[in-house]
Amino acid sequence: MFGWMGSVLEIDLSSGKIIKNSLDVSFARKWLGGEGFGSKYLWDHVGPEIKDGLDPGNVLIYTAGPLTGTLAPSSGRLEIVTKSPITGIFGDTNSGGHFAPEFKRAGYDAIIIKGQAEKPVYIWINDDEVEIRDARHLWGKLVSETDQAVKRELGDNDIQISCIGPAGENKVRFAILMNNLERAPGWVGCGAVAGSKNLKAVAVRGTKSISIARPEEFERACWETRQKVKKLRHLQTRRKMGTLYLTDLFYHGGCAHVNNFNITQCSPSYYEQIKGEKGGEYFTSVNGCHGCEVHCGHHYAIKQGPYAGLQAGGFEFGVSQAFNMWYGSSNLEFAMVASHFCNENGMDGSEPGMLLAWATDLFKKGLITEKDTDGLVLDWGDEKVALELLPRIVHRRGFGSLLGEGLYRAAKTLGDECVKYAYTIKKRASVEANARTWYGCALASATSTRGADHLKGWPFPELAGLPPEQSKKLWGNTNTSNPLKHEGKTEMTLYEQAMFTIIDSLGMCKFHSRPPLDGLNEEDYARLVSAATGVDFSGEDLIHTAHRIYNLQQAYNVREGLSRKDDSIPEHYFNEALNTGPLKGFILSRENFNDMLDDYYQARGWDKETAVPTAETLSKYDLGEISRELENIKRN
């Protein structure tokens, strides 16, 4: 095969059995790779009989795309798919770095990990040699300690490692698998799944080459797409500030909230302390993933003050948003310390900040007291309390054990009044504040198949403030790019969701593409994957394939019991207007939202009452067997 390696590794930790299956080219053509492969494997391996993502019957799926590890720009993305222990539904997560290109060069397009080991283990993949090794000596170690110990044990510093920290070992539901020390595939609890399997790490060394079907054509396509990426509007901003530039975007968009949304726009003086340029002052070096043209990663150093001496990497907007906005601390250095702690312990960086914000909100409202918080007095932005609670979450101690269940489960445990202030979509914490202020983002987040999420269909025309005439030209409606209007959002959302699915399936990075504004589009990706694999795709073919993948994910969630009521946003967003900032007084209309959802379902070919893809829709995307299974569920 070309582009694809032609092999899928299946490892059963319960039995110790290791199987190498051939990848069929028709399967590869149908599902592309990455997110597509993972979605189909999850459908096949994990049904509704697996009630909890921490059940040994769940699987952990590492996948690469046909462009992963090639000369294509930013082709180093890793996709991990599992049944999320946070949401109980389809869960996929993505990270950069160098792990995915390495396991692909070892000869594999996917690694499916099943079962549960009797004792802690790690998996060692050295090209065709695959072993399950004892990891009892690694249990309890931090991410950096694990990385160093495995490399030392195997005698190779070039090994690529994906591992959990203590948070995953203790089954904190939002624990993550850390790659390359700083690359964090978060949001769905893949680290908790690994911990439930007693899997400490996957270490890979790959020395094989990736065969390209039409080398000269592929090289030309790579060169031309790289030149296109270099013209991205925000390229230099991302190199300078990384993802922290989004702080500025949110502030100027009127949704830089603080204190668990009690204040819907931070003050100008507050913003000055957390803005992207301020964060950039701490950066000491720039780094990128495999084949990157953007280089949005940074290392940073704190040189003075109470946190002086910290030198680390992997500080991203999501963590700053959680600790500096949701939790209400205007100290970037504190957020950096919290970020490093989360990375070292293998814990998602955004959910802890949101949990602290929610718990503080409850404490301020008198819904919980010091009896609930182990004697801690919670206050907005209290750094000392936060740094005491984070280890308690990791090690599941006292109040920290409750928080380790994640925002939705913790709130449900405390009762309905506490749920009101826990802002989640499909049980996942809703970190994207613009889901409350921008109609397109609200629709994309509500219909995301993995729960609250902007990365399943971020509405670029809204973010860019596209002029009405350009909006009309692109989407046929002048209001599509107006975030405060609900009309005309469907086609934009479908396109963005399709593009993001394509990118995650090919093994590429979203930062190289802002469809349809600039960067790479579906035709660019079609040129690359066609030349790489020798299987000809048009841009329209890729969009069609992306819709197939998204429909399968929706069918998976329907099989898990989800329906239209789950495709919504937090109730609070419909009931309380923004209380400050340039959008003061604005409130999302429930009627307008439901109109958007009706339009979206009609365009998707999903039943408006149930959100179930119709038989005709599933047939259109060659998913007849999925349709039959859903029909059987209805009859039973």
Q: What is the CATH number of the domain that holds 524?
A: 1.10.599.10
427: enclosing H helix or E strand: none
- Residues 436-477: tens digit of each pLDDT: 999 999 999 999 999 998 889 888 888 888 899 999 999 999
Residue 627 C-alpha from the chain's centroid: 28
Mapped onto helix, strand or coil, the DSSP state of residue 330 is: coil
Residue 590 lies inside a defined structural domain of this protein: yes
**157 pLDDT higher than 90:** yes
513/377 same-domain check: no
Mapped onto helix, strand or coil, the DSSP state of residue 582 is: coil
pTM of the model as a whole: 0.97
Phi-psi region of 365 (alpha: psi -120 to 50; beta: other; left: phi over 0): alpha
Q: Which of 149, 178, 205 is the last residue of a domain?
A: 205
Give the up-direction half-sphere exposure of residue 43: CA atoms within 13 A in the CB hemisphere. Answer: 24
201/270 same-domain check: no
* Stretch 106-130: mean pLDDT: 98
Q: Which of 205, 226, 255 is the last residue of a domain?
A: 205
Residue 218 lies inside a defined structural domain of this protein: no
620/504 same-domain check: yes
pLDDT at 278: 94
**434 pLDDT higher than 90:** no
Contacts of 590 (CB under 8 A, 6+ apart): 574
pLDDT at 354: 96
pLDDT at 135: 98
Which of 238-247, 369-378, 476-485 has the lowest average pLDDT? Answer: 238-247
Residue 224 lies inside a defined structural domain of this protein: no
Rounded Cα distance between 508 and 292, Å, is 10
267/380 same-domain check: yes
Rounded Cα distance between 96 and 204, Å, is 16
Residue 215 lies inside a defined structural domain of this protein: no
* Stretch 106-114: mean pLDDT: 98
Which of 320-324, 517-521, 527-531, 564-568 has the lowest average pLDDT? Answer: 517-521
Residue 547 lies inside a defined structural domain of this protein: yes
CATH of the domain at 370: 1.10.569.10
* Stretch 8-30: mean pLDDT: 97
* Stretch 324-344: mean pLDDT: 97
**635 pLDDT higher than 90:** no
253/377 same-domain check: yes
* Stretch 237-243: mean pLDDT: 87
pLDDT at 287: 85
Q: What token pair was written down for 279?
A: 């964060």
Which of 311-320, 364-373, 401-410, 530-539 has the lowest average pLDDT? Answer: 311-320
Is the CB of residue 313 less than 8 Å from the CB of residue 287? yes
* Stretch 538-565: mean pLDDT: 97
- Residues 510-549: tens digit of each pLDDT: 988 888 888 999 999 999 999 999 999 999 999 999 999 9
Q: What token pair was written down for 275?
A: 């803005």
Mapped onto helix, strand or coil, the DSSP state of residue 252 is: helix
pLDDT at 563: 95
130/247 same-domain check: no
Rounded Cα distance between 610 and 632, Å, is 16
Q: How many structural domains does the chain have? A: 3
185/264 same-domain check: no
- Residues 191-218: tens digit of each pLDDT: 999 999 999 999 999 999 999 999 999 9
* Stretch 128-143: mean pLDDT: 98
pLDDT at 634: 63
Residue 410 lies inside a defined structural domain of this protein: yes
Question: Regarding predicted confidence, which is higher, 610 or 233?
Answer: 610
pLDDT mean across residues, the chain: 95
21/129 same-domain check: yes
Which of 140-144, 152-156, 475-479 has the lowest average pLDDT? Answer: 475-479
166/284 same-domain check: no
261/385 same-domain check: yes
Share of the chain above pLDDT 90, in %: 87
Contacts of residues 526-529 at CB distance under 8 Å and 24 or more positions apart, as own/partner, are: 527/221, 527/225, 528/67, 528/72, 528/218, 528/221, 528/222, 528/225, 529/3, 529/32, 529/66, 529/67
365/449 same-domain check: no
**16 pLDDT higher than 60:** yes
Q: What token pair was written down for 628?
A: 């039959």
Domain that holds residue 544: 433-635
Residue 217 lies inside a defined structural domain of this protein: no
CATH of the domain at 32: 3.60.9.10
- Residues 169-197: tens digit of each pLDDT: 999 999 999 998 888 899 999 999 999 99
Which of 39-53, 67-81, 279-293, 606-620 has the lowest average pLDDT? Answer: 279-293
Q: Which of 376, 393, 422 is the last residue of a domain?
A: 422
pLDDT at 439: 96
* Stretch 103-131: mean pLDDT: 98
Residue 103 lies inside a defined structural domain of this protein: yes
At residue 360 the predicted structure's pLDDT band, cuts being 50, 70 and 90, is: very high
48/172 same-domain check: yes
Planar angle of CA 190, 84, 35, nearest 5 degrees? 75
At residue 636 the predicted structure's pLDDT band, cuts being 50, 70 and 90, is: low
